[in-house]
């Protein structure tokens, strides 16, 4: 029935729902990949356009610097003799006209000797000139204009300049010679172009010179004060076009563009957080839409299957009730075609099965009665013969008083054993039977052991299986008392055990190993051929047959210390007895 329930009521909807879920999830993953790729590509394209526009603006400013530098070279330096007064005047006038762009200018010969410099430029020794970067670069690269480092000027108010130099040829006293032209350009025009970019923490740009030193950075003040550090320079220079860079748990997009032949690089840094947020929002919308469609499809699928499986499900509930023992329940013969026939055939099967189960229960009851009778009837005649021999021997020895006591005890013993054919007797009667047995054996064995009984009077009214304690006493006498001489002790203790009845039979004998205990509990072992013939295992099986497997006998023993056998049975009064 369980398999039918799974196949009809659960498997089909689950398979269909799982198929829909797989399709929905596949669509979600495809959409997620598409959206992610699309937005990242779109962001790259937009940033690339901004980079190209920014690079073009910077190159335009560079072209203006190149034009101005070449103009000074060709219109002033090559036109006049540097040794003439006219050259100095023309150069100073030109610098004065370009004060918005050029801070200062100077001309040096190939050895670094100062040929001319503007008024606001400090005079430097030729040794110092030869050591400067811009001077060496101009001499090494005679075909190009060289763009040097950024320099801070503290003249009145602070400002920044670029040191730009180029190789030149000039006339000195009528002779053509070579030297270096130095122009200090203000950075304002370049900074103005770069400042038009966003320049926020999430999106900004910076400019690097040929030595990878910062020429411009929107957070330059924080960098100088140590409050900020640009971590993307190495990654940006390593990228050819763009690179997605992860730092501090956030993704950044880096783009680099070289500015003409200056060796300078402009780098654009954009945080992907806003893009990720926008992507997540679209993800959420797409996932919600697809999830809603999936839920609707699954709901329709369940409704459709329920219309087919409801008759089967009602039949399954009927089967479950039947399986719980309600054999009077009948299936409703409804539905169409095979479903109606299935209910009808179940009713026919249930009727037949009910009759068969009743027969089985009746046979089981008879079997249990026979088993209990069989277990109770296993009394070895050797015990009776040996006891009667002891009585005869005592009479011949003129021990009439002892013989009379033994006859009286034997009569009490068998009176309890028979118990008018009852299987269950009060614990008081069972204790009386056990005491009679101990007294008989004590007389037979000439006071080889002592025994005592300790019982809770409130428990003696409850019922117990007949002949339960005696086999444990036999085990104590014939195994525990073996080798004991007038110092043996056997104790019967009846007490409340966690709401049940506990019956201990303890001796101070030799004790047993765990292997021997297991052998006694799991094999049909009797204490002795001279005993009753009822083994401990038989008593345990009879208790479990009556009360259940949670009850029965347990044995604990220690070598040279003794053995304790414990019977555990529930409290059952005489009114509860069932035969």
Instruction: Judge if 391 and 498 occupy the same domain.
Output: yes
The beta strand positions in 210-355, using DSSP E, are: 214-216, 242-247, 250-259, 264-271
More confident residue, 278 or 411: 411
Instruction: Judge if 360 and 392 occupy the same domain.
Output: no
Residue 571 lies in a domain: yes
Residue 72 lies in a domain: no
Instruction: Judge if 489 and 538 occupy the same domain.
Output: yes
Instruction: Judge if 94 and 220 occupy the same domain.
Output: no
Mean model confidence pLDDT for the chain: 80
Which class for 172: exposed (0-12), middle (13-18), buried (19 or more C-beta within 10 A)?
Answer: middle
Instruction: Judge if 532 and 499 occupy the same domain.
Output: yes
Window from 222-231, 336-345, 433-442 with minimum mean pLDDT: 336-345
Instruction: Judge if 55 and 154 occupy the same domain.
Output: no
At residue 527, the pLDDT reads 47
pLDDT digits (tens, 9 = 90+) for 208-253: 988 888 889 888 888 888 888 888 888 888 888 788 888 777 888 8
At residue 439, the pLDDT reads 82
Residue 518 lies in a domain: yes
| Contact by Cβ (8 Å): 376, 533 | no
| Contact by Cβ (8 Å): 223, 214 | yes
Instruction: Judge if 529 and 419 occupy the same domain.
Output: yes
Q: What is the CATH number of the domain that holds 143?
A: 3.30.450.20
Instruction: Judge if 27 and 82 occupy the same domain.
Output: no
Rg of the chain in Å (alpha carbons): 56
- Least Cα distance to 318 among 13, 4, 10, 7 occurs for 4
Instruction: Judge if 462 and 563 occupy the same domain.
Output: yes
- What six digits make up the tokens of 307? 């219309």
Instruction: Judge if 213 and 134 occupy the same domain.
Output: no
| Contact by Cβ (8 Å): 309, 9 | yes
Q: How far is the C-alpha of 326 from the C-alpha of 490, rounded, in Å?
A: 51
Q: Which of 142, 169, 190 is the last residue of a domain?
A: 190
pLDDT digits (tens, 9 = 90+) for 49-95: 888 988 999 999 999 999 999 999 999 999 999 999 999 999 999 98
**pTM of the prediction?**
0.48
Instruction: Judge if 366 and 387 occupy the same domain.
Output: no
| Contact by Cβ (8 Å): 266, 51 | yes
Question: Dihedral of CA 10/13/19/21: which sign?
Answer: negative
Counting the structural domains of the chain, the total is 5
DSSP letter for 575, please.
Answer: G
The range of the structural domain enclosing residue 17 comes to 2-61+275-317
Instruction: Judge if 383 and 508 occupy the same domain.
Output: yes
Calculate mean pLDDT across residues 298-308: 71
pLDDT digits (tens, 9 = 90+) for 492-511: 999 999 999 999 999 988 88
Calculate mean pLDDT across residues 318-335: 72
Q: Which of 154, 175, 190 is the last residue of a domain?
A: 190
Residue 493 lies in a domain: yes
Q: Which of 156, 190, 224 is the last residue of a domain?
A: 190
The DSSP bridge pattern shows strands 424-426 and 157-172 to be unpaired
């Amino acid at each position: 029935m369980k398999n039918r329930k799974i196949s009809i009521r659960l498997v089909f909807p689950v398979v269909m729902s799982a198929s829909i879920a797989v399709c929905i999830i596949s669509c979600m993953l495809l959409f997620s990949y598409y959206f992610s790729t699309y937005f990242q590509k779109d962001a790259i394209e937009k940033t690339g356009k901004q980079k190209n526009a920014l690079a073009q603006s910077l190159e335009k400013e560079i072209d203006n610097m190149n034009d101005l530098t070449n103009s000074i070279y060709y219109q002033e330096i090559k036109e006049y003799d540097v040794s003439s007064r006219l050259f100095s005047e023309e150069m100073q006038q030109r610098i004065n006209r370009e004060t918005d762009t050029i801070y200062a200018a100077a001309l040096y010969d190939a050895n670094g000797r100062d040929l001319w410099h503007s008024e606001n430029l400090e005079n430097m020794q030729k040794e110092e000139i030869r050591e400067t970067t811009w001077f060496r670069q101009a001499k090494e690269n005679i075909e190009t204009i060289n763009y040097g480092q950024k320099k801070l000027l503290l003249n009145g108010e602070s400002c920044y300049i670029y040191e730009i130099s180029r190789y030149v040829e000039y006339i000195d006293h009528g002779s053509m010679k070579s030297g270096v032209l130095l122009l200090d350009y203000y950075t304002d025009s370049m900074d103005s172009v770069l400042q038009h970019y966003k320049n926020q923490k999430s999106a900004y740009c910076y400019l690097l010179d040929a030595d990878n030193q910062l020429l411009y950075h929107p957070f330059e003040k924080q960098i100088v004060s140590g409050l900020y550090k640009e971590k993307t320079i190495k990654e940006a220079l390593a990228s050819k076009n763009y690179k997605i860079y992860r730092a501090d748990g956030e993704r950044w997009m880096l783009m680099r563009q070289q500015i003409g032949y200056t060796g300078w690089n402009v780098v654009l840094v954009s945080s992907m957080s806003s893009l990720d947020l926008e992507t997540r929002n679209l993800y959420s919308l797409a996932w919600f839409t697809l999830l809603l469609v999936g839920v609707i499809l699954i709901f329709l699928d369940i409704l459709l299957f329920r219309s087919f499986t409801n008759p089967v499900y009602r039949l399954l509930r009927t089967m479950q009730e039947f399986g719980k023992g309600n054999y009077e329940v009948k299936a409703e013969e409804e539905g169409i075609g095979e479903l109606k026939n299935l209910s009808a055939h179940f009713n026919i099967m249930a009727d037949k099965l009910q009759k068969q189960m009743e027969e089985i229960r009746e046979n089981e009851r008879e079997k249990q009665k026979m088993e209990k009778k069989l277990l109770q009837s296993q009394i070895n005649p050797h015990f009776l013969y040996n006891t009667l021999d002891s009585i005869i021997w005592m009479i011949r020895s003129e021990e009439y008083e002892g013989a009379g006591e033994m006859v009286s005890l034997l009569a009490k013993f068998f009176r309890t054993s028979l118990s008018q054919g009852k299987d269950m007797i009060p614990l008081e009667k069972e204790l009386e039977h056990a005491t009679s047995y101990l007294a008989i054996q004590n007389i037979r064995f000439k006071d080889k052991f002592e025994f005592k009984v300790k019982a809770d009077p409130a428990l003696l009214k409850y019922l117990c299986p007949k002949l339960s304690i005696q086999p444990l006493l036999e085990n104590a006498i014939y195994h525990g008392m073996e080798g004991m001489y007038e110092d043996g002790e056997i104790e019967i203790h009846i007490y409340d055990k966690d709401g049940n009845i506990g019956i201990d039979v303890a001796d101070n004998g030799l004790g047993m190993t765990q292997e021997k205990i297991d052998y006694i509990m799991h094999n049909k072992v009797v204490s002795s051929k001279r005993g009753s013939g009822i083994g401990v295992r038989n008593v345990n099986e009879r208790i479990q047959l009556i009360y259940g497997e949670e009850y029965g006998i347990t044995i604990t023993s220690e070598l040279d210390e003794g053995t304790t056998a414990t019977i555990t049975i529930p409290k059952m009064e005489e009114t509860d007895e069932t035969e």
